[in-house]
Structure 1
Amino acid sequence: MRHHGALVVRTLGRMDGTDARIIDLLRADGRAPYGRIGEEVGLSASAVKRRVDRLLAQGALQGFTIRGGRPAADTEIQAYVEIFCTGNVATASLRRILEDIPEVRRAGTVSGDADAIVHMVAPTIARLEAAIERIREAPHIDHTVSAIVLTDMFDRS
């Protein structure tokens, strides 16, 4: 997997030269209209969209991200939240719960006392608290332990 600007590219399956050129153009501008990309590669906008959809479905493109000019710590509240479950909870069940909470940016199961840990980002403490409460109210969740980020030192993603 390679990270190129705001585009996450994974070399999977066969890509032709047009696919590679489309990826290069998306690397340069992830928000470029398909019509403009089509002009560059000699395809219609709908043909470019079909290729991008196929590349996403195959996993060759893994998504598009937007990174703001200011660090999140300057504008948002971040927290790491450990999740403790009752009994054995399937990872898929826990994933469904967490995917429905937009403040959860990353989630993973972990070794140790906690069953999972999530990285959460919210615009206010009140929104963060409400999101954590949604986790606590979910089935099979016993309790959570939260740590609010005070200083965002660096991010290698």
Structure 2
Amino acid sequence: MHLFDDLDHRLIAVLREDGRAPVSKLATILGVSRATVQTRLDRLLETGAVLGFTIRARQGYDDRAIRAIMMIEVAGRSTTAVIRQLRGLPELFALHTTNGAWDLIAELRAESLSDFDRVLREVRNIDGILNSETSLLLSSV
């Protein structure tokens, strides 16, 4: 498991704001050399601390998307394997651990009800998931 230091935290924070920033820009913002940034990025990717780079779309950008919250119960000690499988789903928007009756809470987004139905089946077929409950998000108030 990778232990983050202050530079790692600052680098990740900058990447959250602009995942497409060039290494030279990251180095300038962080006040370190390009080689230091590249080494840190390589290590964060190799250890799995950073899974990749993506865009952030404005919340609610696609008001036609089907959005839902899924509460997930995980069997025994399979949480890490379940999380790894869930992160492979492009429809997974956010994933959280929690306490109480459910082990994980996932925010899902799909383009249509048929896509959403497929995603539900895929999630429920993941080894280690015992139970789930899903609620569609109808509107934001």
Query: Which category describes the TM-score, using the shorter chain as reference length?
Result: 0.5 to 0.7
**Aligned AA (1:88):** G
1:13 alignment counterpart:
5
Report 1:62-77 matches (<5 A): 66-69=55-58, 71-72=60-61, 74-77=63-66
The question of whether the paired residues in 2 share the 8 Å contact of 1:82 and 1:115 is answered with yes
1:149 alignment counterpart:
137
The question of whether the paired residues in 1 share the 8 Å contact of 2:82 and 2:127 is answered with no
Q: What is the CA–CA distance in structure 2 between the aligned matches of 1:141 and 1:23, rounded to whole Å?
A: 30
C-alpha offsets along residues 22-51 of structure 1, whole Å, 9 cap, x if unaligned? Answer: 88986875423235666897956x564224
Matched length: 134
Q: What is the CA–CA distance in structure 2 between the aligned matches of 1:50 and 1:144, rounded to whole Å?
A: 40
Query: What is the aligned-residue RMSD (CA, Å)?
Result: 4.3
**Aligned AA (1:111):** G
Report 1:1-157 matches (<5 A): 13=5, 15=7, 29-35=18-24, 48-53=37-42, 66-69=55-58, 71-72=60-61, 74-84=63-73, 88-104=76-92, 105-112=94-101, 114-153=102-141
1:5 alignment counterpart:
none
- The more displaced of 64-73 and 102-111 is 64-73
- Displacement of 1:133 in angstroms is 0.3
Gap regions ≥5 residues in structure 1: 1-11
Q: What is the SS of the residue equivalent to 1:74?
A: coil
- Displacement of 1:119 in angstroms is 1.4
Q: What is the SS of the residue equivalent to 1:93?
A: helix
User: CA separation of 1:48/1:73 partners in 2, compared to 1, >3 Å: closer, same or farther?
Assistant: same
**Aligned AA (1:13):** D
